[in-house]
Chain A
Amino acid sequence: GQNIDQPTEMTATEGAIVQINCTYQTSGFNGLFWYQQHAGEAPTFLSYNVLDGLEEKGRFSSFLSRSKGYSYLLLKELQMKDSASYLCAVLDSNYQLIWGAGTKLIIKP
Chain B
Amino acid sequence: ETGVTQTPRHLVMGMTNKKSLKCEQHLGHNAMYWYKQSAKKPLELMFVYSLEERVENNSVPSRFSPECPNSSHLFLHLHTLQPEDSALYLCASSQPSDRGLYNEQFFGPGTRLTVL
Q: Do A and B bind each other?
A: yes
Asked whether B43 lies within 8 Å of A87 as measured between CB atoms, the reply is yes
Count residues of B near A (Cβ-Cβ below 8 Å): 20
Give per-residue flags for B96-116: 1 if the beta carbon is below 8 A from chain A beta carbons, else 0. 011100101111111000000
Complex CA distance for A55 and B108, rounded to whole angstroms: 26
Q: Does B4 contact A (CB under 8 A)?
A: yes
Question: What's the least CB distance linking B86 to chain A, in Å?
Answer: 16
Give per-residue flags for A97-108: 1 if the beta carbon is below 8 A from chain B beta carbons, else 0. 111111000000
Q: Does B13 contact A (CB under 8 A)?
A: no
Closest residue of chain B to A101 (Cβ to Cβ) is B42
The A/B interface has a contact count, at CB < 8 Å, of: 47
Q: Which B residues touch A35, using CB under 8 A?
A: 107
Q: Which A residues touch B110, using CB under 8 A?
A: 42
Asked whether A43 lies within 8 Å of B107 as measured between CB atoms, the reply is yes
Residues facing A in B1-39 (CB within 8 A) are 2, 4
Count residues of A near B (Cβ-Cβ below 8 Å): 25
Asked whether B104 lies within 8 Å of A99 as measured between CB atoms, the reply is no
Closest residue of chain A to B58 (Cβ to Cβ) is A96
Q: Does B45 contact A (CB under 8 A)?
A: yes
Q: Does B74 contact A (CB under 8 A)?
A: no
Chain B interface residues toward A at CB < 8 A: 2, 4, 40-43, 45, 56, 90, 97-99, 102, 104-110
Contact sample, A vs B, 27 pairs, CB 8 Å cutoff: A4-B42, A33-B102, A35-B107, A41-B109, A42-B2, A42-B108, A42-B109, A43-B90, A43-B107, A44-B2, A45-B104, A48-B104, A50-B102, A87-B43, A89-B43, A91-B97, A91-B102, A95-B99, A96-B45, A97-B45, A97-B105, A99-B42, A100-B42, A101-B40, A101-B41, A101-B42, A102-B40
